[in-house]
Amino acid sequence: MWQLAWPWMLLLLPAPWIVRRYMPPEPMDKDAALRVPLAGEFSVVTGPGRLGSAKRWRLALLTAIWTLSVVAAARPQYIGEPVSLPMTGRDLLMAVDLSGSMEERDFQLDGEWVDRLTATKAVAKAFIDRRIGDRIGLILFGRETYLQTPLTFDRQTVETLLDEAVIGLAGTETAMGDAIGLAIKTLTEADVDESRRVLVLLTDGANTAGAVEPLKAAELARQRGMVIYTIGIGADAVLVRSLFGVRRVNPSADLDEQTLTTIAEGTGGAYFRARDIESFERIYEILDELEPAASDESGFRPIVEYFHWPLAGAALLVIAWALAAVIGAARVQSPLEPEHA
C-alpha cells in the first residue's frame, strides 16, 4: 500500500501560481534597459515564434521541478505486508570474560586447538541465533567492564560485536563483580517491569579486580529479580611437552567454581562447566530449555521511504535546465560576434 507521510505538503503545489497571480510585479528601471539599435538581428537567432515556445518549455520545466520537489517533501512511502515479531518479554545479557587467561588453547574446534574466547564465540553465536523474541545485550569485562551492545532485538549486531571482541581489550584481570553490577544497572534501566531479567556470565577464572565483590553484586541482583547463569570455561587437564617429557597440567586451576555456583544458585540460576565444545553446546541447549524462547506474537508493517526518487528527478531537471540555459546563451552570442576579414 502506498501512502504519503506528510500529505499536507501537497497544499504547497499552487504556491507559485498564487504568488505570480496576486503579488505585484517588480518594477523595472527603464533607464537600465538594454537598447539594441538593430533589434531585427535577433530574428535570425530566434526565428518567428521561438520566444513564445521557449517560454512555454521553461514554464513546463519549472512546473515539473516544483511538483517533484513538493511530492518528495510529502514523503511517499510503501507499507508492506504485516510481519509478526515474536516477543518473549525477556531481557538477556551475556557477560563475556576477555582477561588474559582466555588465551589458553584447551578447546578443540573443527580439529584444531583454539583459545577459550574463540570457542566461546563459536558456540555463543549459535545460541544468540536461537533467541528469537529476546532483547539481547553484550557485556565485555576484564579489569574494566563495558556495555558493548545495549539490549536489542538485532541479534546480528550482537553476534558481530561479539565476534570483534579480542582478548585483553578490557584488561588482563577479571572484574566479575563489576560485570554483574553493570548488568544490574543495564537491566534496571530497561524500563520493562514485566520482563524476565537474565544474565549469562562466562568466565575462566576468579575475581581479581574491580570495586564490587561478586557475592554482594549477586545479592543485589537477587533483590532486583535478576537470574544469573554462570559458565566456567576451561579443560580439566591438557598434556604439555617439556624438556622433562610430557606432563599433565590443569589449565583451569584458577577457576573459582565455588563462587560461580553460589552466584548462580543464590539468584535462582544454575552453574555449568564447559570443558570442551560438546559440553559448551549442551550447556546452551539446557539454557534454551530453562529460558525458552516461546513467544507471543506482535506485528508491525515494514515501511520503505521513496522520497529520494522524485527528489532525484527534480535535481536532474534543474541540471538539464541549467545546461539548456548555457547552450541557449551560447547560440544567442554566436551570430552577434564580429566577422573577421
Tell me the average pLDDT across 101-105: 86
Look at residue 195 in the predicted model and tell me its pLDDT: 65
pLDDT mean across residues, the chain: 80
Other beta carbons less than 10 A from residue 257's beta carbon:
13
Residue carrying the nine cell digits 512555454: 56
Mean per-residue pLDDT, 6-19: 88
pLDDT for the residue numbered 147:
93
The pLDDT of residue 91 is: 83
**Does position 209 have pLDDT exceeding 90, yes or no?**
no
pLDDT at 222: 92
pLDDT interval class at 42 (50, 70, 90):
very low
Place 45 in a pLDDT band, splitting at 50, 70 and 90: very low
Pick the residue with more confidence: 123 or 335? 123
- Grid coordinates in use for 186? 543495564
Q: What is the mean pLDDT of residues 207-225?
A: 91
Instruction: Please report which confidence band the pLDDT of residue 246 belongs to, taking 50, 70 and 90 as the band edges.
Output: low
pLDDT top residue among 297 and 260: 260
The arithmetic mean of pLDDT across residues 119-147, rounded, is 88
All domains in the chain, ordered by first residue:
2-79+303-336 (no CATH), 87-296 (3.40.50.410)
Burial of 275 (0-12, 13-18, 19+ CB in 10 A): middle
What is the Cα–Cα distance from 316 to 323, expressed in whole angstroms?
11
Average pLDDT rounded to a whole number, residues 3-18: 88
Task: Report which residue type is found at 214.
Answer: P
Residue 332 has pLDDT above 70, yes or no: no
Report the C-alpha gap between 113 and 148 in whole angstroms. 27
Task: Pick 217 or 242 by higher pLDDT.
Answer: 217
At residue 220, the pLDDT reads: 94
Is a pLDDT exceeding 80 seen at residue 99? yes
Name, of 42-56, 127-141, 212-226, 296-310, the range with top average pLDDT. Answer: 212-226
In which band, very low, low, confident or very high, does the pLDDT at 67 lie, cut at 50, 70 and 90? very high
Place of cell 574491580: 210
CB 88 within 8 A of CB 134: yes
**% of the chain exceeding 70 in pLDDT:** 77
Which band of pLDDT confidence, cut at 50, 70 and 90, is reported for residue 184?
A: very high
pLDDT in tens, 13-35: 988 888 888 877 666 555 555 55
Q: Which amino acid is at 288?
A: D
pLDDT digits 0-9 by tens, 72-94: 999 998 887 766 555 555 788 99
219 neighbors 212 (Cβ within 8 angstroms)? no
DSSP 142-153: SSSEEEEEEEES
3-state DSSP assignment of residue 292:
coil
